Structure 1
Amino acid sequence: MEESDTIITLIGTKLAKIGNEFIFRGTAKDCEPCKLNRTCLGLNIGSKYRINSIRKGGKLECFIHDCGVCAVEVIETPIRMSIEARKAIRGSKIVYEPVACNYSSCENYGICHPSGLIRGDKFTVVEVAGEMPGHCRRGYSLKVAEVKRSERS
């Protein structure tokens, strides 16, 4: 991990445990008047983060978290998703387009429709994990890849 990958943010003290992962969903209305909201809200909406360390300095008051917040160091973790096989090249830039499929009972539905992503989000392929498990009912040629957001939302 490079030093530049580390981001300092604030998180509820009850959630601040090394190794915890979360998807940043964005701002809450109660965050608007807070003078610390730039620290909390400097993450990419829809991206997944892992807490790597908890900073010293104690707890701060928060309008959302009843036990306050504390400073933590996080890194954005890769997102596992399906991509068209022809685009599955390590280092390539892709634009997220959800797979046109409504088979919510499919074992791969979560990989084809990752939580928190929006059509048009831009990513870089970090790793191609291989073929999709099982058979695609729609007949798509897909691969499983790990991607990282390449532009802020």
Structure 2
Amino acid sequence: MVEVRHITLVSYLTAKEGYTFVFSGPAPECNNCRFKKVCIDKLKKGHVYRVVRVLGVKNRCPVNQYVITVEVEEAAIEAAVPTRLAIEGMIINYSKIVCGMSNCINNKVCNPKYLPSSGKVKIVEVLGRLQCPKKIPLTKVRVIVI
């Protein structure tokens, strides 16, 4: 998979390599900001990004006090999908796995923190079968939001 990287701005509090975030869209103050094109225009609402490099340039921000210039890439998130859909490169309509077992060892991949409850995702890597206590045929994959 070719990682597309973008230069953007993030809060000085989160400008650390490895920091992962979901872009939830611009604040109203962003619409007239001179940094809008580099800060938010390249990011897609609902997509997950990871800071891969901190460039260190600091600018004032009406929303976050200060922002730091960073390089981000779209982050692949580990998730569980029905085994019949676990094909690398496939775009699927993803839904979190709902089984009622909140204490299950697979709960973090069945209900990943950074993915919406449902939506289109692309499977970028198949990691292997999961042992589901309810015998649901599931496979652990890495996905990106489409």
TM-score (norm 2): 0.82
* Alpha-carbon displacement from aligned partner over 1:15-58 (angstroms, at most 9, x marks no partner): 212333333333345544534334333323343322222235x3
Cα RMSD for the two superposed structures? 2.4
- Alignment-derived partner of residue 126 in structure 2: 128
> Residue type of the partner of 1:146?
R
| Unmatched runs of 5 consecutive residues or more in structure 2 | none
| Count of matched residue pairs | 145
Q: How does 1:35-46 map to 2 (within 5 A)?
A: 35-41=34-40, 42-46=42-46
- Alignment-derived partner of residue 110 in structure 1: 108
| Unmatched runs of 5 consecutive residues or more in structure 1 | none
Shift of 1:104: 1.8
- Alignment-derived partner of residue 79 in structure 1: 77
2:129 pairs with 1:146: no
How many Å separate the matches in 2 of 1:83 and 1:38? 36
- Alignment-derived partner of residue 63 in structure 1: 62
Tell me if the contact between 1:81 and 1:114 (Cα under 8 Å) persists in the aligned partners: yes
Tell me if the contact between 2:48 and 2:144 (Cα under 8 Å) persists in the aligned partners: no
- Alignment-derived partner of residue 23 in structure 1: 22
- Alignment-derived partner of residue 6 in structure 1: 5
> Residue type of the partner of 1:147?
V
* Counterpart secondary structure, 2:64: coil
> Residue type of the partner of 2:137?
S
| Percentage of matched positions with identical amino acids | 32
Q: Structure 2 vs 1, CA of residues 29 and 103 (structure 1 numbering), >3 Å: closer, same or farther?
A: farther
TM-score (norm 1): 0.78
Shift of 1:90: 1.1
* Counterpart secondary structure, 2:98: coil
Task: Give 1 or 2: higher strand fraction.
Answer: 2
Shift of 1:109: 1.6
- Alignment-derived partner of residue 47 in structure 1: 47
Q: Structure 2 vs 1, CA of residues 136 and 34 (structure 1 numbering), >3 Å: closer, same or farther?
A: farther
Shift of 1:76: 0.9
